[in-house]
Chains A and B, each alone.
Chain A
Amino acid sequence: MNALPRTFAGLRASRTARVCVVLLALIVLAALVGPLVSPHDYQRADFDRILVPPGSGDAHVFGTDDLGRDLFVRTMLGTRITILVAVVASIVSLVIGVAYGALAGLAGGRVDALMMRFVDTLYALPFIFLVILLMVAFERNFLLIFVAIGAINWLDMARIVRGQTLSLKEREFVQAARLIGVSTPRILLRHIAPNLVGVVIVYLTLTIPQAILVESFLSFLGLGIQEPQTSLGALVDAGVNQMEGAAWMLLIPATLLAVILLCFNFLGDAMRDAVDVRGAR
């Protein structure tokens, strides 16, 4: 299992990747530590200090919102939740997608055709609609968002893993293992799974920003995280309403969201290059 170290070695070689990793680490650190060290609380409204612009005293680094809540603490909190949602949703999609895709690819033939037609059917459903329905039908909660986003993302993962498995299955080293008499589960574990790692890691870094976007979108529509909890999407939504008087309420969370998305995207590209170089060798 040397896919991981080799991928990381490739990443170290890319300056963009290094910058992205450092930026993401700083953001996560700030999101974790920020609310703890700040004198302010994320939900206490202070009607004497409504819409204070950033940097104007009282340690409101990012200013306050229309209810007088400290925007720095709220932004950091929102970042925490956004990243948490994204990571958990990606893990959900990883587990379902890899298992489903590898199974379909290995089984091949009719089973594979059936399983993939099921995926196609799900693709055809308007998912955002479905999520909105779910949100309306059930109590809005965290868990549901994770599940909903994961349920969208696993389809792509399943397709990619299935395609990769299909081609790996025909590779000569797998045939060689068959000839030696290696059992199918062992072939899967030793010969196919390790060769999937690269693709899966790459795809994972690309699903994370996707999940962030979906979460932000839902929150922006008012269907995601509910007050007084917040996420970057919900903050952007609030900011849009105050855009004319207090642009910082929109710009700060929007910029942070953009930076996080860009970092993950660049990281995904760099990972793909790192894996490709080895593949092309």
Chain B
Amino acid sequence: MSLLEVRDLSIRYGATDVVSGLDFDVAPGEAVGLVGASGSGKSQTALAIMGLLPRAASISGSVRLGPHELLGAPARVLDRVRPTRIAMVFQDPAQALNPYLRVGRQLVRILEQHRIARGASARQKVVEMLARVGLPDAPRQAAAWPHELSGGMRQRVMIASALLAGPELLVADEPTTALDVTVQAQILDLLESLRQDTALLLITHDLGIVAGRCERMLVLEAGRLVESGPVREVFSRPQAAGTEALLAATPAPGAAREAVAGPEVFRIEGAAVCYRPRRGPPLHAVRGVGLAVARGEIVAVVGESGAGKTSLGRAALGLVPLAAGRIVLAGSELAPLAADRSLAARRAVQLVFQDPAASLNPRLTVSDIVAEPLTVHEPGLKAAERGSRVEAALAATGLEAGFMTRYPHELSGGQAQRVAIARALILEPRVLICDEAVAALDGRARRRILGLFDTARAETGLAVIFITHDLGVAQEMAHRVLVMYLGRLAELGPAVAVLSQPLHPYTQALLAAVPRADPRDPGGRATITGEVPSPVATPAGCAFHPRCPRAEGRCAEERPAARGVAGSRVACHFAEEFLAGDAPA
């Protein structure tokens, strides 16, 4: 007896098939993962189930929820079914909440609309639900506006609103993609503990999440169901090539890379970055962080949003002024601002942005984009010679000469990022700073770019500072890892040590929260609570102590200094105890 029956579901836009001939069931109370790469049609499927597809879509097949046929059902029927029998949690809670209504009011409306409760009893129910989803001080938070809540809290409110009317099926479309990894673990825990009898259709691109949270999984590829079955079976014996590709694309829980030794090329000393808004208190984004990078080394800078990683990178590039500290390139100090640096110094430090599409001028061809650094730094170059240099730089990133006449909008995300890297590497810089450069890319594109860095390291001794929120990526790429929390160093050391025996509770929590594509050891556990506080009001003592499972009275008063512990630098009072094996439960 299944709760949801999808039969021969097809969705097309004009001549483009987005989903074709999809069949699957969801049993009552079951958790099913719907996975696939971007563009595989998984979100379209969710929208079709919810009756939310735009008019332009032509849909055929059948979606039955109990006695109700949902496809093509009139609004009257859908309004009876949503959200009392089927409800949805969207990816971006910031957009799913009405910014002009207090959150409690939005939830009360749901109860009133469906005549479940009204007045004082509805308000009471809402406050209870908000407390259940873990909103601290729920009666007060019910009166908050959506913009006053953090991303994680907003998603909790969304879950509360979805569960409020007691649906039998919850459809969650990438519910944690917009959140930090520790918050993701908390939200997924919450979904699991609250849904009880509610069935869950969890849509995600992250196989790690499915491995830990679902009983069955469905794999979509180009709009077709290529595989389905119990999670453990699919993971251990993938039948379809698409599944294997997806599995291969997930960062493997394998070993981190060994450290490399070499002369230092770039050093950030005691860097501090402070933004002073016209109104309000100054924001200390980075507070005294030092980092030295060796020739041919890849250093990952990790941390949740608000950790100051991006500000650190920008300061190294001279895009934001340093409040304190200095930047040293191969033994000589650089001017703090890029505008004051010599052309040679600018040439030596290059940047790759997070969003490849935004970092390429849409009006220039690929060859113009890649050639631009040469026209600035080597103006004497003849056109033919420049052309061949550009071709060589593109070839090094795996793009054939045919790409030279294309425009950025004609490239995929991975191709665009390779163009951006070719533009940065054509100058043969000493240091490359990558700000979340692979966050928008799938596993294959990511591995390609890693390969590219490795070649450049071997050939020109390129050093890479790799800013990422994803420890999985750090594990795959980095020789050394710098973990930051609220603008300060938490832990810095060889990737092997930091990722296998973390000496800071924050690193431990980050590691535990990373979902792994392994049903026997899925990771993705929330070992810390709460979210990163605002950098404007950092806690006294150790900034991490309010969230730290290990914190003692001393942590609230005394800020731990970063010190050397077994080859790493750690800023925790208990680092030595962790080293001695006295790990917390």
The residue that B351 contacts in the complex, of A176, A197, A281, with Cβ under 8 A, is: A176
A171 CB contacts on chain B under 8 angstroms? 358
A173/B361 in contact, CB under 8 A: yes
- Any chain A CB within 8 A of the CB of B423? yes
Q: Report how far A172 CA is from B317 CA in the complex, Å.
A: 14
* Among listed A54-62, A134-142, A177-185, interface-contacting one: A177-185
B319/A195 in contact, CB under 8 A: no
The residue that B423 contacts in the complex, of A175, A176, A178, with Cβ under 8 A, is: A176
Q: Report how far A181 CA is from B317 CA in the complex, Å.
A: 12
- Any chain A CB within 8 A of the CB of B292? no
A183 CB contacts on chain B under 8 angstroms? 376
- Measured as residues with beta carbon below 8 angstroms from the partner, the interface class of chain A is 20 to 34
Q: Which residue of A lies closest to B350 (CB)?
A: A179
- Measured as residues with beta carbon below 8 angstroms from the partner, the interface class of chain B is 20 to 34
A175 CB contacts on chain B under 8 angstroms? 319, 353, 359
Query: CB-defined interface of B334-377 with A at 8 Å, one 1/0 digit per residue?
Result: 00001000010011001101010011111110000000110011
B358/A3 in contact, CB under 8 A: no
Q: Which residue of B lies closest to A175 (CB)?
A: B319
A222 CB contacts on chain B under 8 angstroms? none
A176 CB contacts on chain B under 8 angstroms? 351, 353, 359, 420, 423
Q: Which residue of A lies closest to B407 (CB)?
A: A2
- Any chain B CB within 8 A of the CB of A39? no
B423 CB contacts on chain A under 8 angstroms? 176, 180
- Any chain B CB within 8 A of the CB of A18? no
B382-399 interface with A by 8 A CB criterion: none
Q: Report how far A171 CA is from B360 CA in the complex, Å.
A: 9
Q: Report how far A1 CA is from B363 CA in the complex, Å.
A: 6
- Any chain A CB within 8 A of the CB of B409? yes
Query: CB-defined interface of B406-430 with A at 8 Å, one 1/0 digit per residue?
Result: 0101000000000010010001000
Q: Which residue of A lies closest to B409 (CB)?
A: A281
A1-21 interface with B by 8 A CB criterion: 1-3
Q: Report how far A240 CA is from B76 CA in the complex, Å.
A: 55
B313 to chain A, nearest CB (A): 12
A179/B409 in contact, CB under 8 A: no
A173/B338 in contact, CB under 8 A: no
A179-B346 CB under 8 A given contacts A2-B407, A278-B409: yes
Q: Report how far A278 CA is from B363 CA in the complex, Å.
A: 11
Q: Report how far A3 CA is from B361 CA in the complex, Å.
A: 12
B427 CB contacts on chain A under 8 angstroms? 180
A182/B358 in contact, CB under 8 A: no
Q: Report how far A175 CA is from B361 CA in the complex, Å.
A: 11
B317/A179 in contact, CB under 8 A: yes
Residues of A within 8 A of B (CB): 1-3, 171-173, 175-183, 190-191, 194-195, 197, 278, 281
Residues of B within 8 A of A (CB): 317, 319, 338, 343, 346-347, 350-351, 353, 355, 358-364, 372-373, 376-377, 407, 409, 420, 423, 427
Q: Given A183-B376, A194-B361, list of 13 further CB < 8 A pairs?
A: A171-B358, A172-B353, A179-B319, A179-B350, A180-B350, A180-B376, A180-B377, A181-B346, A181-B347, A181-B373, A190-B364, A195-B363, A197-B363
Task: Report the 6 A-B pairs with minimum CB-CB distance, sorted nearest first.
Answer: A194-B363, A172-B359, A173-B361, A172-B358, A180-B373, A181-B346
